[in-house]
Structure 1
């Protein structure tokens, strides 16, 4: 049991709540099932003064290489099959069968069938163990995970996050754990989705196609930069005369451009040509991304004059070329760049556990047991959903 005292703290607009101030160490079970990865972790919160210790993290990814994408019904079945055995394994591995004090799970956004696989199981554990449940926003997990290593001391609020994955591409200003402003969002598909689809068009295969394309490029950078094929890729939402510059991302046009370039080739492309195309695709998408980041920075001096820390997280955030370009081209604005280690950039349960810890400790709230998954959940509306109750 977690022993606690209570102190007053503002959390919801116009409302005073009580915060649980933990007196001793406690353990957290975290579950993430928002898409095609079933992830489970156990985190030991030994002290409020020191970073938590990750005891174990397990992941099982749905193999969708032959389907050309994730099929929601198969992802739902995958989680139904995997989540219970993974939880049992991680509890036994860490000798935590009777030592879990807090259950954290992804509540949204994501595919409802996938989310329900983890959320329903987590609710059952919270009931069986009579422990508090925290339903975590998936993108909040990506945003906060760099703070785990510093026990929440860095990056300090306010800070900026670039969250780039297969499902999201958002530029976020965070004033606190519950106050987030979306500065720029995509009007169509996410950058990770575009990278995957473009890579598939030029013949790259695998379960993590964008990551495989990055590795393919890096196998021979000189060949990749050879311009063996001229693709004429766009930089969308930017008027040629620069009289109109839209504050948004758009990654769907790249797929059309790649298909057009491929249609010009009457025969199968060579490895050299494929590597050249892969390099141009990756560079063009990153160029569009950074172009829009610079635009937002120029249009919002009220935000950026006080924010000097940038977090880049999400699956695409693990791309080394993107990390390099962000440092090279945005160092005029940011003094510190935070990139989670690659295993914490892709979907994982560790980030869900840490975000749950921050919510539970800093805000003194938990999730009631009758909640359901949230398919679309804007980060700016973190608290404006039913189900939050005092811890």
Structure 2
């Protein structure tokens, strides 16, 4: 862990000072600043990126990003042992290919990998490999918080200048749904979290109930709806879908999300074998499911904003990131419904919304340059790692 006084000192450093040791053999006319190898293996995606940090004054350049996803749709979900084996098989070839494509075998200055949160078996596949490379190359290693990567990714293209702190982030994925107030790289307060399952998990499971298949089921459902939006809005089938916590909020103002009730409601609304429904009826159901889940999300966000008006008085920037953040309908709703509460809305490019190694590399760059941090080689995976306790774990070094 890092002391508060030390953090205050480190925050005053400029990036060229924080990275001086990394770049001392690289600086000079025509030379790059430093190069980052980043690895992400928190779930079922094996991701590797090589990033060039050419200057403190411009956004980094992604030299390569490679990704191999475990095919698990036939199993009805991710099996941890198979995910672990997938990473064991894929990580070395992907890193080897990334280094070859970018001619980086002797040119990496910083190694970053996801340390948590996530499935321990999956995390260990990338974390252990990254530590081994750091030892072999005698380079610093940085274990990155997965959700911090999502949260900071919208700052990548602006080189960290926008959105500027403070900002409010909606992190939406298959494993997380939370509303986070960020006032600095290491200062994050979770204002709202899910009390059961994540929004992405709910979308996937509800989509599976109405017969949609694939490895990214919620994304496939969105595409299915877009194929014929008029048909989707036709209400040929009326599902009885809830807005969870709404009645309780009239009395208690519960600042939380709840997505498990949608799966129960969908199952109860389907009155016959799904194969006996027409395509138009299924598309209508898909539209209603997506709209209802997003309606609940917006209802709770508005509640949190209202109850934390004083705390959020100076916050004018809103971020949405994570895999579900790639949904264009959700992006539209956020900007429409929250227009009076925030001036600016930020989203990562669609390709960087789902799990990727670039976000891990960028978060590593921000941690390194802002706080001059790296991670000790005895660091282990962290299955549950609250974002509000980013630096309150063993292994941080400065």
**What TM-score comes out, normalization by structure 1 length?**
0.95
Aligned twin of 2:295: 287
CA distance in 1, matches of 2:93, 2:59: 28
User: Equivalent of 2:206, from 187, 198, 203?
Assistant: 198
Relative to total residues, which structure has the larger helix share, 1 or 2? 2
Aligned twin of 1:34: 42
CA distance in 2, matches of 1:240, 1:366: 45
CA RMSD of aligned residues (A): 1.5
User: Equivalent of 2:234, from 226, 230, 235?
Assistant: 226
Gaps of 5+ in 2: 21-26, 28-32
Aligned twin of 2:369: 361
Q: Answer whether contact 2:169 2:320 (CA < 8 A) is retained.
A: yes
Aligned twin of 2:394: 386
SS at match of 2:311: helix
User: Equivalent of 1:21, from 15, 18, 23?
Assistant: 18
User: Equivalent of 1:104, from 112, 126, 134?
Assistant: 112
Deviation at 1:97, TM superposition (A): 0.7
CA distance in 1, matches of 2:126, 2:145: 13
User: Equivalent of 1:306, from 311, 314, 318?
Assistant: 314
SS at match of 2:366: helix
Relative to total residues, which structure has the larger strand share, 1 or 2? 1
Deviations 1:108-129 (A, max 9, x none): 0000000000000000000000
User: Equivalent of 1:371, from 349, 367, 379?
Assistant: 379
Q: 211-220 or 336-345: which moved more? A: 336-345
Deviation at 1:266, TM superposition (A): 8.4
User: Equivalent of 1:12, from 3, 10, 20?
Assistant: 3
CA distance in 1, matches of 2:375, 2:167: 26
Alignment length (residue pairs): 381
- Superposition misfits of 4+ residues, deviation over 4 angstroms: 16-20, 264-267
CA distance in 1, matches of 2:249, 2:344: 34
Q: Answer whether contact 2:50 2:63 (CA < 8 A) is retained.
A: yes
Deviations 1:129-167 (A, max 9, x none): 000001000000000011111111110000010000000
CA distance in 2, matches of 1:244, 1:102: 48
Q: 114-123 or 12-21: which moved more? A: 12-21
CA distance in 2, matches of 1:64, 1:330: 36
Aligned twin of 1:246: 254
CA distance in 1, matches of 2:275, 2:45: 37
Aligned twin of 1:83: 91
Alignment of 1:24-173 (within 5 A): 24=27, 25-173=33-181
CA distance in 2, matches of 1:127, 1:86: 19
SS at match of 1:303: coil
Deviation at 1:265, TM superposition (A): 5.9
User: Equivalent of 1:343, from 347, 351, 357?
Assistant: 351
**What TM-score comes out, normalization by structure 2 length?**
0.93
User: Equivalent of 1:179, from 172, 187, 197?
Assistant: 187
